[in-house]
Amino acid sequence: MTIAIAEGGRLVAGVVYDAMQDELFSAERGGGAYLNGERIRCADVGDIENVLIGAGLPIPGQVKAVAEEIYFDAIKRLMANTAGVRRLGSAALSIAYVACGRLDGFFEDGLSIHDFGASALMVEEAGGIVTRLSGAEVDGRGDILAASQALHPWLKEGFRIKA
């Protein structure tokens, strides 16, 4: 379950609840990000070969922000250079995992703000960066790239797009 609150078009609070694990992720703009009441931070992994990335594996026609070939090349690049790529099945939960350091980054295209709004705020409040695949500000078009500050530029580079 995910709930996001926006004021004036800007996210101010978000909650993601994982009923299977009984875990409540929450964030308030300027107030930090939390897992079951404990402060969380994005992982600070410096070695690319040790990072674990979450990714959406799209259905035909889902990828719109970049050519499908670029999207799948980015996944191949991750498979060749990192500890692995995972698909949890929930963008909201995957992004919350970036906020608490279980995943080092996440990307997907074809989402709605309902899929990522609450957890995107969590990553920002946990010290990470959330953008479109191009590195541009998230604007609701459906593509998202979330990662630690150190890892984000390397992930963005995989999409070969200038912001």
Feature table: binding site = 115
Residue numbers belonging to the annotated binding site for Mg(2+): 115
Q: Which two tokens stand for residue 132?
A: 């479109």
Q: Which two tokens stand for residue 96?
A: 């919350």
Angle, alpha carbons 99-105-108 (nearest 5°): 110
137 backbone φψ class: left, alpha, beta (φ>0; ψ -120 to 50): beta
**Which amino acid is present at 85?**
V
Grouping H, G, I as helix, E, B as strand and the rest as coil, residue 95 is helix
For residues 33 and 39, the answer to whether their CB atoms sit within 8 Å is: yes
